[in-house]
Structure 1
């Protein structure tokens, strides 16, 4: 149930980011939902490895390099998803920020309610 809720939150975040950021594009709603699933898998499997390897740079930049790692994960998702397109690095960077922000806000709002339902 939690995976489904997080996938819907990510899909909504992708939709908002695609409407705000020029250069982030999805061919259809189905592509957007599948991209949200792939993004979740990429963040669960590959992101921890990249975050661990980039830890010295992250420490030197006081955590700001995490934004670059997020943009890389979004770019990797675009490479794996045929109907998703990112035209440049700034679109990936700002798209990742918007996706993180919307996901964070939605998880804050929904997180407490899903925990109460699970009990």
Structure 2
């Protein structure tokens, strides 16, 4: 449980970095400065939603799409990550994604960041 909470905070930091420094111009977050935790609370909320979606829906999608993942030698996982990011954007009005390419690149960045976080937190 603590590992998940730390990962949510780290994902919030990645979302903050992606939107604050315009790494992906089509990925936008509308912060809520009047929320309980201010603007950072918005990033925490989006990190929490993405973490829950990735933990619950992600394994189901990966299992159902296993033949496509095998045929494409794992490249279909980029599409799954884009779908998870799109589902996160659909669940909150604070996150907007302009197109499919932005979702794929955002999903790739979040997948790499999540993998790095898992490697660091498992030690």
Decide: shared fold, TM above 0.5: yes
Paired residues of 1:11 and 1:36 also in contact (CA < 8 A): yes
1:64-103 superposed Cα distances (whole Å, 9 cap, x missing partner):
1001100100000000011110010111111111112223
- SS of the residue corresponding to residue 28 of structure 2 reads strand
Whether 1:7 and 2:18 are equivalent positions in the alignment is no
Whether 1:88 and 2:89 are equivalent positions in the alignment is no
| Count of residue pairs the alignment pairs up | 112
1:13-92 to structure 2, matched below 5 A, reads: 13-18=14-19, 19-28=22-31, 29-92=40-103
Residue of structure 1 equivalent to 2:120: 109
TM-score, normalised via structure 1 length? 0.86
**Higher relative contact order by CA 8 Å / sep ≥ 6: 1 or 2?**
1
- Structure 2 unaligned regions, length at least 5: 32-39
CA distance in structure 1 between the partners assigned to 2:52 and 2:113 by the alignment: 18
- SS of the residue corresponding to residue 20 of structure 1 reads coil
Paired residues of 2:27 and 2:98 also in contact (CA < 8 A): yes
Paired residues of 1:13 and 1:103 also in contact (CA < 8 A): no
1:110 CA displacement? 4.3
1:24 CA displacement? 0.4
CA distance in structure 2 between the partners assigned to 1:53 and 1:79 by the alignment: 21
